[in-house]
Structure 1
Amino acid sequence: MTHRPELHVTPGTGVLRAPAAALFDGTIWHVFHQFQPRTTEGSRWAHQYSDGSPFSFEECDDVLAPEGDELEIRAGSVTATDNEVNLYFTSVTETGRSIHLAEVPDIAATVENVNDDPTALDPHVRRVGEILGDINGGRWFRSPCVVPDWRDHTDRDCGHSGWIMLAVRGHRDAPEVVVCTSPDGVHWSLLGPLELVGDTGLQGERMVAPRIMRLHDEVKDKVCDVLLITLERDGIDASGYLIGSLVGTQFRVDKPFRRIDHGHDFTRPRNTNFVSRSNNIAAHYRDAYLFGLMNGVGRLDDAYQHESYLAEGWANCLSLPRRVTLQDGILYQTPARGLISAIEESDHALMLTSIFEVPPGDAITVELTDSCGQVAATITHYGDRLELDRSMNTYHQGDEVAVAPLGEGDTDTITVIADGSTVEVFADGGQVAMASRVYFNGQCEEFHLHHTPGVTVLHTNVIAPTMSGFYHLDDVDEGIIR
């Protein structure tokens, strides 16, 4: 049995360091990630694609690797105009970091043929050069997030025009997020440091990996800017978002920082760009799709000590893609369409969904058991909070329980997806998400559902490989669900 998940993006060998960017052309999903093939080599950009649903990725030729005096190629952003794609990446040398651009004139051609040599680079990729280096007293520019066709706050309901970039500059111990603009995506001007105005809920933590997108708030009926950031707290990443509006270099906060995922292992989320989207503004901002790195430590992590690397020579994976909507200032996250079919066509993946009512003082627990019949993790819904516990697992002995607060709702729900060494949980319609790496002895074999007497279970389904439909388990008290 393998620790490798079937439905997640993983490296064939080596270490997946960070998601770089994702792109959807209407049919094919393209995911780029920062990848270190072996300890003696610097990171490069790998490319994988999935035709149709985003759950069956195939490897393509790598698109970028260190050249000349470069030590590493680190994460960045991808944009598209028609079939032409721009790759914005961080170039690392002994003397600093800078943001560079490469072009792919025909993204479709990159999936047609794959070289037998794993070190070969895709011949369809052409480097343009540095686009943001040491300017205006700023140094070490990195981690670009580029959004094409961006209008300012006064025109947000009319669509997009112009380009915007969020990036990080300065030493890694004192990073500073900055805002840049461009008329064409190639020539950039630095506007200045990003200033957060209002109640941010932050306490001076270091902000890295900025991303920005726009969504239509379904409850408030207005278009809002969503600022995704990762905080480095004592060597542990905490990723989340603020809701507001970007005006020049000011982000005017309407809703303070909120964790985007409360599990043990989700960080540095990347939004998916589209080759083309609807000209209808309501449709354009209706939703977004996110991937994150399933690693809770971040840049200080030693991936070579991961169980998957020690046993199988690979480390880290991306989360399942999440469809994200904005409702009353809260991001709701649910798995992307096509997951049920992907699980049915897989070898070992499992998913449980349940609808229930949990009165105060009661709880319902899902146990995930491995091939030896041992409990590897539990997820417990208390009505006002959700807990994911893997501390009983010999691979995760002593780990803290991951806890997420839950808001009030008419009905309590939970979805649990187990795929290889990954567990992802979505609760109360996507109000809360939790992603954790869980190493099983063998695989996740079964779900056991337990609850206290006051809980009413309204409906439960389990999706498993080769199933022709749903199992319907009503009035579940406790026992095995398979």
Structure 2
Amino acid sequence: MESSDKVTNSNKYRLLSDASPDELTQLARQVNASPWRQHYHIQPNTGLLNDPNGFAHYNGQYHLFYQWHPFGPVHGMKYWYHVTSTDLVHWEDAGVGIEPGDPYDSHGAYSGSALAEDGVLYLFYTGNTRDEDWSRHPYQCLAVLDQQGHISKQNTPIIESPPLGYTDHFRDPKVWKAADSYYAVLGAQRLNQTGCVLVYRSDDLQNWSLTGELETSLTDFGYMWECPDYFELGEKGVLLFCPQGLPAEKDRFENIHQAGFLLGEQINPEKPHFHHGSFTELDRGFDFYAAQTTLTPDGRRILIGWMGLPDTSYPTDTHGWAHCLTLPRELTIENGKLMQRPVKEMELLRKESYTAVHTVQDSEILIDEMYGSSYELHCAIHMEGAAKAGITFRTGDTEETLLYYDTLSKYLILDRTRSGQTMENDTGSIRRYALDAKMIDLHLFVDQSSVEVFINDGEAVMTARIFPAKDSNGVAFFTEGGKATFDAVHWLYT
């Protein structure tokens, strides 16, 4: 994935080897002093993190890479940074994965995917290059991770240029195997400035040929489609992608760029036509983009996304870092719906617990035993006549984040108007999810500067970065215009 900002400042395209002796040490000191460092989310040691890349299970571990610019919270020279895990929850730092700077990735190792095959992990990525006129020339590149953990880049690209009829916005290969062939989907832009996905095929992972454009009903749907991911689940075909340039609608497409999916019939990648339903956003909150999935050894389809957005400033920018990744989510299809739930392994983080049942009428009650900046909260709200009922969390003297159900409008509302230091954007501080229910099941994962809300057992998710003061740690239940019962359990994580 690439920011739309046309950066010409050569300082942003330095390599790590160009850093002064104590530059990164000083930057790390600044980053570690930030009050909004996360406790259990993947985040960069310094600089900017964006898209998750190369997510795969190989050699007894989960391998995950992410786009990384080490020198600050800006989009510049991108590395692949590598972390590993045996349980999807506790991640070990494995250092730089792919270092750019060679002829076919001179201006960054951009997004891609991984495939375990032949005893190694193949890493497919887009090599970003720029000429003296700052014109883009993308190459699709290959690197290999062996069983000793060593990564070697191949000297020549596997796809040298976009096909005729498409611009140089051509990137983010996601590769999979079907029968005895290999396929890849890539994000692309037609010459008429509309986005699409291209399908490629290979017999050996080295020689790739264009099968064709994936035919969908969305012929004019944004100016570029980034970060595609095709997989099959529950006898259905699922295409994830990020269309850029969609106009905002009421309660849809309100973020600067969108991330979502099409659900339909399984495709034949040799004749790529996709019969599908409507485009649906993966996350109904504020900060979510560039999702990628993999399969676990026990057959679960797991998704991780970037908890951030392109072309957006965050309060942590002044501390020398930006962004994190979401929690892993297990995907299933139930009654024709794509469901997202936190992976069961998140239970490994649970420590002290507290259970409470409270009936509240036209008031707010602070739950003294529920508090903190790093916890899990599962709450069922039984609407018993209340016009509004919900939870305030990360509350302090002047700060709170609101999550509540409005029975009149039939919306679940996430409001970060008073969540702390504000974002520099013009997309508003409220997100709504249409819901008609007498009982609302809310599963919150709160970290030092974020919240992820799973709604009604995975029917929808709302993700938000929030930046409250350190002592804004309270939790309260409230109702207006009637009564509701809150049945909740809270687990501290730290």
Q: What's the TM-score once normalised by structure 1's chain length? A: 0.79
Aligned to 1:155: none
Aligned to 1:417: 445
Q: Deviations over 1:201-248 (max 9, x none)?
A: 9755542221111111xxxxxx00001111213681111111113234
Question: What does residue range 242-253 of structure 1 map to in structure 2 within 5 Å?
Answer: 242-245=262-265, 246-248=267-269, 249-253=271-275
Q: Share of identical aligned residues, percent?
A: 22
CA distance in 1, matches of 2:404, 2:54: 33
Aligned residue among 259, 263, 268 for 2:281: 259
How far residue 400 of structure 1 moved from its aligned partner, in angstroms, is: 3.0
Aligned to 2:485: 457
User: Helix, strand or coil for the counterpart of 2:278?
Assistant: strand
Aligned to 2:13: none
How far residue 128 of structure 1 moved from its aligned partner, in angstroms, is: 5.3
CA distance in 2, matches of 1:134, 1:369: 49
CA distance in 1, matches of 2:208, 2:102: 24
Aligned residue among 323, 333, 336 for 1:329: 336
Are 2:110 and 1:92 equivalent residues in the alignment? no
Aligned to 1:374: 398
Aligned to 1:358: 383
Aligned to 2:314: 306
Are 2:221 and 1:169 equivalent residues in the alignment? no
How far residue 29 of structure 1 moved from its aligned partner, in angstroms, is: 2.4
Aligned to 1:115: none
CA distance in 2, matches of 1:29, 1:7: 16
How far residue 47 of structure 1 moved from its aligned partner, in angstroms, is: 0.3
Aligned to 2:361: none
CA distance in 2, matches of 1:265, 1:375: 20
CA distance in 1, matches of 2:51, 2:208: 25
Aligned residue among 161, 179, 190 for 2:210: 190
C-alpha change, 1:449 and 1:342, in structure 2 (3 Å) is same
Aligned residue among 109, 113, 116 for 1:80: 116
Paired letter, 2:379: S
User: Helix, strand or coil for the counterpart of 2:421?
Assistant: helix
Aligned to 2:305: 292
User: Helix, strand or coil for the counterpart of 2:429?
Assistant: coil
Gaps of 5+ in 2: 1-33, 132-136, 248-254, 354-371
CA distance in 2, matches of 1:358, 1:20: 42
Q: Deviations over 1:89-108 (max 9, x none)?
A: 110111400110111121xx
Gaps of 5+ in 1: 111-122, 151-159, 217-222, 279-283, 467-482
Question: What does residue range 79-478 of structure 1 map to in structure 2 within 5 Å?
Answer: 79-81=115-117, 83-95=119-131, 96-106=137-147, 109-110=148-149, 123-127=150-154, 129-134=156-161, 136-137=163-164, 138=166, 140=168, 141-148=170-177, 150=178, 160-170=179-189, 174-197=194-217, 203-204=221-222, 206-216=224-234, 223-233=235-245, 236-245=256-265, 246-248=267-269, 249-274=271-296, 277=297, 284=299, 287-296=300-309, 298=310, 300-301=311-312, 305-311=313-319, 313-344=320-351, 348-358=373-383, 362-370=387-395, 372-382=396-406, 384-396=410-422, 399-406=428-435, 411-442=439-470, 445-452=473-480, 454-457=482-485, 459-465=487-493
CA contact (8 A) 2:188 2:224 kept: no
CA contact (8 A) 1:102 1:129 kept: no
Structure 1 stretch displaced more, 131-140 or 205-214: 131-140
User: Helix, strand or coil for the counterpart of 1:60?
Assistant: strand
C-alpha change, 1:337 and 1:441, in structure 2 (3 Å) is same
User: Helix, strand or coil for the counterpart of 2:90?
Assistant: coil
Q: Deviations over 1:392-447 (max 9, x none)?
A: 234227833111123x5684200111101011101111101000000010165121
CA distance in 2, matches of 1:238, 1:387: 19
How far residue 174 of structure 1 moved from its aligned partner, in angstroms, is: 4.5
C-alpha change, 1:360 and 1:168, in structure 2 (3 Å) is farther
CA distance in 1, matches of 2:432, 2:277: 21
CA distance in 2, matches of 1:368, 1:45: 35
User: Helix, strand or coil for the counterpart of 1:290?
Assistant: strand
How far residue 50 of structure 1 moved from its aligned partner, in angstroms, is: 2.3
Paired letter, 1:267: Y
Q: Deviations over 1:282-315 (max 9, x none)?
A: xx4xx4111111113x2x23xxx5322313x211
How far residue 25 of structure 1 moved from its aligned partner, in angstroms, is: 4.0
C-alpha change, 1:90 and 1:462, in structure 2 (3 Å) is same
Paired letter, 1:71: H
CA contact (8 A) 1:66 1:73 kept: yes
User: Helix, strand or coil for the counterpart of 1:125?
Assistant: strand
How far residue 27 of structure 1 moved from its aligned partner, in angstroms, is: 5.0
Q: Deviations over 1:234-263 (max 9, x none)?
A: 681111111113234544334211111010
Q: What's the TM-score once normalised by structure 2's chain length? A: 0.77
Aligned to 2:65: 32
Paired letter, 2:429: E
C-alpha change, 1:357 and 1:231, in structure 2 (3 Å) is same
Aligned residue among 89, 101, 111 for 1:67: 101
C-alpha change, 1:161 and 1:329, in structure 2 (3 Å) is farther
C-alpha change, 1:266 and 1:202, in structure 2 (3 Å) is farther
User: Helix, strand or coil for the counterpart of 2:81?
Assistant: strand
CA contact (8 A) 1:269 1:293 kept: yes
C-alpha change, 1:273 and 1:189, in structure 2 (3 Å) is farther
CA distance in 2, matches of 1:337, 1:82: 30
C-alpha change, 1:324 and 1:26, in structure 2 (3 Å) is farther
Q: Deviations over 1:350-399 (max 9, x none)?
A: 121112333687332111134x4433311112364221101123422783
Aligned to 1:281: none
CA contact (8 A) 1:242 1:253 kept: no
Paired letter, 1:226: V
CA distance in 2, matches of 1:10, 1:433: 21
CA contact (8 A) 1:214 1:224 kept: yes
CA contact (8 A) 2:420 2:468 kept: no
CA contact (8 A) 2:49 2:322 kept: yes
Paired letter, 2:262: L
How far residue 340 of structure 1 moved from its aligned partner, in angstroms, is: 3.0
CA contact (8 A) 1:340 1:463 kept: no
Q: Deviations over 1:322-355 (max 9, x none)?
A: 1111112221111111223314299941121112
CA distance in 1, matches of 2:383, 2:60: 41
Structure 1 stretch displaced more, 328-337 or 251-260: 251-260
